[in-house]
Structure 1
Amino acid sequence: MTVTTTDHREIRSWVEGRSGVPMLVEAAGLSGGRPVPAVVFPQDDSMPEAREVGWDEWFEVFDASGLAFRHSAGGPQDSPPVYELLNP
């Protein structure tokens, strides 16, 4: 089962509960050159084109892009964490 939300507290709690880190990907040629929000988890491959940011900056881009966050409904023990950013 999955959950889709735009609630900042719910998203942050889900990500941090799985040791995730908010990142912005500099997407040259994509998204009109605007950064794209992403989340990196410890077991993920590195993303050299991404930079770690604070939650305030991440949510500014998330909200400005009109995105929603879909994630697995399982607990933190579920591995690997699965999420998707949607443009509803």
Structure 2
Amino acid sequence: MSQILTDRQAIREWAEARGGNPMLMDVPDGSSMRTVLQLTFGQYALNATGNEGPDRVDGYQLVSWEEWFSALEKGDLAIEVSDDPAGGNEAEFTFVPRDKGPEL
């Protein structure tokens, strides 16, 4: 079973409970750039000042939650997470269109 999260507080709590940090990367897309959203888990040593700043991990930039949420909302996206406590990778998530489900 899974749930779709759109609420900023719910997303941040879900990610931080798993050691998650917000990341963005601008990548070429034809003649322009597009922003790729990501969450990274277990990267505290790279950015111990509150998940903000210029630190880079494999080309991604750790950013503030505010900047990450702005990009998520600009892309009209939500995250789908597993709510099955029985196993699997509890930090697994997928970006989905925001209109796919109700706000949780």
What do residues 34-82 of structure 1 show as CA deviations (whole Å, max 9, x unaligned)?
A: 2121101128xx951210000000000000110011011145x863510
Structure with greater strand share of residues: 2
Q: TM-score normalized by structure 1?
A: 0.80
Conserved 8 A contact 2:82-2:90: no
Bigger Rg over Cα: 2
RMSD: 2.4
- Long gaps (5+) in structure 1: none
Aligned residue pairs total 84
CA distance, structure 2, for counterparts of residue 80 and residue 86 of structure 1: 18
Identity in percent: 29
| Over 4 Å off, 4+ runs | none
Scaled by the length of structure 2, the TM-score of the pair is 0.69
Distance in 2, Cα, partners of 1:6 & 1:12: 10
Map of 1:62 onto structure 2: 72
- 1:8 maps to amino acid: R
